[in-house]
Amino acid sequence: MRFGVLALAGALVLGACAPTPPPSTARLPPGAFGGNDDNDIMAINTADWAFSNPARTHGNPINAVRAVLAIEYLGGELSSSPRWDFMSSLTKLQMLQARQEVRETLGIAPDAPSQAVANALLALSQNPTPATAAQVLKPPVFTLPPEETLARIENLPYLQMANLASHRASEQEYPTGGSLCIVCG
């Protein structure tokens, strides 16, 4: 009996030390954010720019969809790619929380695979119209009617965690901190 209890306790301790699997992570085609081929940097910059001031995406559905896509993508990418090993664990956790916040705001299922969400958002970013929304913003990934989800995307509110996480990621996008701009001071 005593040995069984000790064995169970030992198994629980070892189980708690097991690494957690990486979060669901989407893969995107080069240039998914309309810029250079480095989706990681473009996603960080897009999210930081858009979520720091919601007025930047109001009335601009392409930029709004790209900002939502950036948070969706970064939620997995920062935690699963070795490229970002130097980034603060807190920033990575905050980006996952930002993804959850954005998903709640837009009615995206919390357990939806990131690739399914990203595919729908990529299609919508090419043509952010009600017709496209009706085709790609469907259950089980999206829980609200497509027209409501599109309206929410076009009028993103201030999302505190998305702002914080994207700003912190932008401060850490290079191993030395900050940007590589030599004329920026």
pLDDT (tens, 9 = 90+) of the chain, 185 residues, equals 565 555 555 555 555 566 778 899 999 999 999 877 799 999 999 999 999 999 999 999 999 999 999 999 999 999 999 999 999 999 999 999 999 999 999 999 999 999 999 999 999 999 999 999 999 999 999 999 999 999 999 999 999 999 999 999 999 998 875 555 444 44
pTM (two decimals): 0.85
Contact 143, 108 (CB under 8 A): yes
Nearest 5°: CA angle at 67, between 66 and 70?
Answer: 85
- CA atoms of 71 and 162, how far apart (whole Å): 7
Write down the pLDDT at residue 184: 42
Write down the pLDDT at residue 15: 53
**3-state SS, residue 108:** strand
Dihedral sign from CA coordinates of 95, 43, 49, 150 = negative
Dihedral-angle region of residue 59 (phi above 0 means left; psi in -120 to 50 means alpha; beta otherwise): left
Write down the pLDDT at residue 183: 42
Write down the pLDDT at residue 19: 73
